[in-house]
Structure 1
Amino acid sequence: MVDPENTPFTLPATPERAQDMRRAARNISVLMLASVLSKGILLVWQIVLGNWLGPTEYGLYNTVISLGAVAAPIVNFGIGLIAIREVSRKPELAGRYWTAMLFTQTLLFIVAYLVMVIASVIVRGGAGSDEIVAFAAVSGISLLIDVFGSISNDLLIAQERMTITAAVDVGTITLRVLLVATVVSAGWGLAGIYLMTILVGILRFAVLWGVHFYNGLRPEWPLDRAITWGLLSNGWPLAINALIAQMYDHSDKIMTTAIIGETNTGYLSPAFLIKFGVVELLSTTVVVATYPIMSRYYEEGDGSMFGFMVEKMARFMLLVSLPIALVFTFFSGPIIMLIYSEEYAPVIGIMPIFMWYTVLTMVGSIFSRALLIQNKQRIALMIRIVGLVLNVILNLVLLVGYRDPRGAAIATIVAESVSLVLMMRVFRAPGFSWGVVIGGALRILGWGAASAIVMVLLGSIHYIPGIAGGLLVYAAGCFWLPVLGRDDWDLVYRVVAAMPGGHIIRRYWHRDVAVNW
């Protein structure tokens, strides 16, 4: 007999709901596939570009990118997300929203441009060079062009035309890489990079605008003040969140350039790049894939299932990030020298610190997203602000005191540790048990320690058997020892099934998932 009090709430199945779910799954799959392709291309390209430019120019290039990343939330102002939400509900107002977005974001660009240039002047006043100001001024132009393209991109997403946006993103990134590679190899340096970036940005927004014009959509004048005010009033909390997040991610590079120069930022940048690539490919795609179902379980009142999923997702992130951190802890030297020139030898000492920061970031992303689902974004924002302030203070102390880029890496990992602890302390949900979480984490860490011993022993012979042997031992323990339970494997199966190409894997991996899943 079924106990109604313990039976999870489910929505009635209808043809319309089934169609909505299929469309949502298709959209997520398309966006994830485009994300993996575009970010994979950029990751490989940035490694090649770093070798071509050398630490000093590469440090200068990444400093300007960081300044642009901090300025971007001012231009975007959360307006894109608000517009997507509203246009998806009222598609007949798409033209009016297009006009309002063009007006507001062009004005916001002026503010962002001034912030970017002033920040570059401050950095130059420290240990930076005069080129930072010049390239920041030029890079700001591409920021405006990207805004025009992003507005059209957001309107297409609101119309659920993800295939077009994905194709344009992958195509323009590929074209930009090819053009930049051509001009850099021809000796044009950073000037050629920014020129090609601007040209590709113009092409991107021209194509996206052309799609809308072909479909009969135009900006509708005069300006609708109600829509404009709605975008600004609803977007500012998102803008603050994004600004804090970007400052948190990029303050170390900006401060490193300002205090000890571009060359040291050039040593920091490869470690940040690899960390960013690992997080984007292994964490962000999974979080995007599972966010809708986690939100649905929470909204439908099945709190125990939501807490259960948070616990499993946090464990999954620890499971996949731990072996990567171990590999770079013991073998960062040969790996860095394999993909970078000898000029980047100082990266070897920075890389292990950044990879443990990656572990904290991937686990923390689950709790951050869980707090957002629980409508506790203000608490999450305050925690992020605490982490940012701590990060800035530690960067000042360590960089000024020791003049070593490893100080920036240490400051970042300490700030992230504090942020993770605070998020874990405030998160509570039915179905989430700290005893289960800690027990599962200790089993994974224990087997990770055993794998580390194998890496050290085999690595004394050569780094290749050290890496291969350690990873094989780690994988064997996950499969055959009580490191993971049935519920964990159910989650892994669900995540893999949601990934692009998951239907191919399901042909060969069949699993009877628990009914509650």
Structure 2
Amino acid sequence: MARSLLRRANRDPAPTCRLPRSGDPLTTDSQAGAGLSAAGARRAARNASAIAAARILSNGAQFGWQLILGRLLGEVDFGVYGTVGALFAVGVAVTSFSMSLIVIRDVARYPDRAGGYLTASLVSQTLLALVAYVGINAAAWALGYSDTIRAFIAIAGLSLFIDMLGNLSYDQLLAQERMVATSAVEVGHILLRIALAGVALWLGFGLLGVYVMTILTGFGRAGVLWALLRRTGVRPRWPLEWTLARPLLINSAPLALSTFISMIYLQLDRLMTTSILTEADTGHLNAAFVINYGVIDLLSTTVLVAIYPLMSRAYTDSGARDLYRLLVEKLAFFTLLIGLPVGLVFTAFATEITVPLFGANFAPAAAILRVLIWYTVVTIIANVFAQNLMVQNRQRYLLAVRAAGLGFKLLLNLILLPRIGVIGAAFASVSAELLVLGALASGFGLNWRGTQIGRWARLALIVIVTAGAMLALGALHPLLGMIGGGLIYGLGIIIGGVLAADDWDLLYRLAAALPGSALIRRVWRRDVQINW
């Protein structure tokens, strides 16, 4: 069945669509999607490459900075930093109100409304930033945080207003397809912020210096992006047009609520650990989270962003969804295959990974990482099914699942943190994410057939053998255990019959959709036609 679907996909050409240029007259959506010009395709590829490159560079730089920051600050201050960052992230979700996608979409369609949308966003998000600023400071007081944390939240929260100005310009420039310029600004901003914050720490200003430099570089980013936008002729258009502002707020509200719940779900562990336990405990938890988020961003977020257009084209409302379902199921299975050895490595060698990265003071984070890494494994699989719901426009179901997961996670943290300490937050995260995965897979209608029992049995055997090999080789040297265990796992997957021929075909097609696919296809050749 799966192989016949892939053969059919190889025979049938993919439908094409035309992306309107900024100077084209606006007609109907169907007319705008009539064909895809070669210039439009090249422009889209250039823009996608710029965004992907900027994302990889900026996220990589920030990941490295977190590792350095943990060593420089120590466990207590790193816990303070993690708590402030968690509350700030919630404030960002309130300030942005998920308007970006709507603004980018509408300004791209109707460039003459850019000034009106800029004014509407500026007014509404300024008020929302004020609400967020008051809210996160009130939350810090309600959660019983120390005076130090409350002071830093008051300072760091000023970036809500500054970053908002830069983000408004960023969205408008994206709508004009100025991805190369915006990507350069984003990477430059991140690198400059890290450099100046490092200098501030070296001079002995501590966390205060980090937040001051964050504010200063935020001003610089906002100024550069605003100047770039003005060069395109876009300026705020006064007075405020309620015919634009009101629908913008109403249409953004469901997305904003979903983003807000998702953000609290992500940050809840650190917020509650600081409130119930100590800042040092949060520092250890934050170190484990830094590693986990780095793995998620590398193995899940980057891949799913690249695969999203492919999934959107594969999904149809005509009932011919067999290929799409196959794509989602296989993608989830491939993600599981990648996640299992990652979980084994971090479980077996958590101490050998954590201590060199963060220092001996963070040794307690290793026990947290051994548990929390399985949250990562579950999350990268759940993200596949979550993206499926986005493709199907089933955001309400996704919101309900996230809300249920948040409630369950909150309950578990209240029970476990006072009883077993900070590792309870890790157990709460894994348990809540398993609940979320089950609900998302059920919403997809996942139904593993009995004929796959043999495949699962072989995979389980490979995992057991790999775990044993990692422990045996790791007794000689940790790197030998990591590398040797990984090689044994990979060989087991290849020769153990875990992947069928249609799995390899689809895996090749998925690889062709990723950034750098030309290099991948030059090295790995397979008789499969790529038409997406």
- Please give the TM-score of this superposition, normalised by the length of structure 1: 0.94
Structure 1 vs Structure 2 CA RMSD: 2.2
CA distance 1:208–1:70, shift in 2 (3 Å)? same
Report if aligned partners of 1:314, 1:363 keep a CA contact under 8 Å in 2: yes
- The residue number in structure 1 matching 2:36 is 17
Look up the match of 1:480.
495
Q: Which moved more, 1:46-55 or 1:17-26?
A: 17-26
| 1:461 maps to which of 476, 497, 507 | 476
* d(CA) in 1 for partners of 2:451, 2:132: 46
The structural deviation recorded for 1:499 is: 2.9
Name 2:519's counterpart in structure 1.
Answer: 504
- Written as runs of structure 1 = structure 2, the 5 A alignment for 1:305-344 is 305-344=323-362
Q: How far apart are residue 10 of structure 1 and its match?
A: 5.4
Q: C-alpha separation between the residues in 1 aligned to 2:206 and 2:315?
A: 51
Name the residue aligned to 2:28.
Answer: none
User: How big is the shift at 1:218?
Assistant: 1.1
Residue of structure 1 equivalent to 2:152: 135
Deviation at residue 214 of structure 1 after TM alignment: 1.5
Deviations 1:12-61 (A, max 9, x none): 55884253444433332321221111111111110110010001000001
Identity of paired residues, percent? 43
CA drift of 1:494 comes to: 3.1
Give the whole-Å Cα distance in 2 for the aligned partners of 1:352 and 1:130.
33
1:204 aligns with 2:221: yes
Name the counterpart of 1:389.
Answer: 407
505, 510, 513: which is aligned to 1:490?
Answer: 505
Out of 154-163 and 361-370, give the one that drifted further. Answer: 154-163
Query: Which residue of 76, 98, 103 maps to 1:56?
Result: 76
Deviation at 1:512, TM superposition (A): 2.0
Q: Does 1:409 align with 2:414?
A: no
Cα offset, 1:437, TM superposition: 7.1
Match of 2:241 among 216, 220, 224: 224
The answer to whether structure 1 residue 289 and structure 2 residue 306 are counterparts is yes
Counterparts of 1:261-272 in structure 2, within 5 Å, are 261-272=278-289
Q: Find the aligned partners of 2:74 and 2:450 in 1 and give their Cα distance.
A: 49
2:383 is paired with a residue whose SS is helix
Moved more, 356-365 or 467-476: 467-476
Query: What is the alpha-carbon distance in structure 1 between the residues aligned to residue 486 and residue 158 of structure 2?
Result: 46
Secondary structure of the equivalent of 1:299?
Answer: coil
The CA deviation at 1:477 is 2.1
Choose 64-73 or 500-509, whichever is displaced more: 500-509
SS at match of 2:527: coil
Deviations 1:449-482 (A, max 9, x none): 2211110111122212111110111122233331
User: Aligned residue for 1:104?
Assistant: 124
Structure 1 gaps of 5+ residues are: none
The CA deviation at 1:195 is: 0.4
Is 1:90 the counterpart of 2:110? The answer is: yes
Structure 1 residue matching 2:235: 3-state secondary structure: coil
Following the alignment from structure 1 to structure 2, what is the Cα–Cα distance between the partners of residues 441 and 176?
47
Corresponding residue SS for 1:28? helix
Give 1:312 shift.
1.0
1:369 matched to which residue of 2? 387
When normalised by structure 2's length, the TM-score is 0.91
**Which of 501-510 and 213-222 deviates more?**
501-510
* Amino acid in structure 1 at the alignment position of 2:122: L
Structure 2 spans left out of the alignment, 5+ residues: 19-34
Could you tell me which of 414, 421, 438 is aligned with 2:438? Answer: 421
Which deviations, in whole Å up to 9, do the C-alpha atoms of 1:173-223 show, x marking residues without a partner?
A: 011111111111111101000000001100101111111112222111111
Q: How does 1:38-49 map to 2 (within 5 A)?
A: 38-49=58-69
Tell me if 1:118 matches 2:138.
yes
Deviations 1:436-456 (A, max 9, x none): 777655544432222111101
Q: Read off the aligned partner of 1:72 and give its amino acid letter.
A: V
C-alpha distance in 2 between matches for 1:117 and 1:442: 52
Distance 2:514 2:105 in 1: 24
> Which secondary structure state, in structure 2, belongs to the residue aligned with residue 17 of structure 1?
coil
One-letter amino acid matched to 1:163: V
Q: Indicate the residue corresponding to 1:299 in structure 2.
A: 316
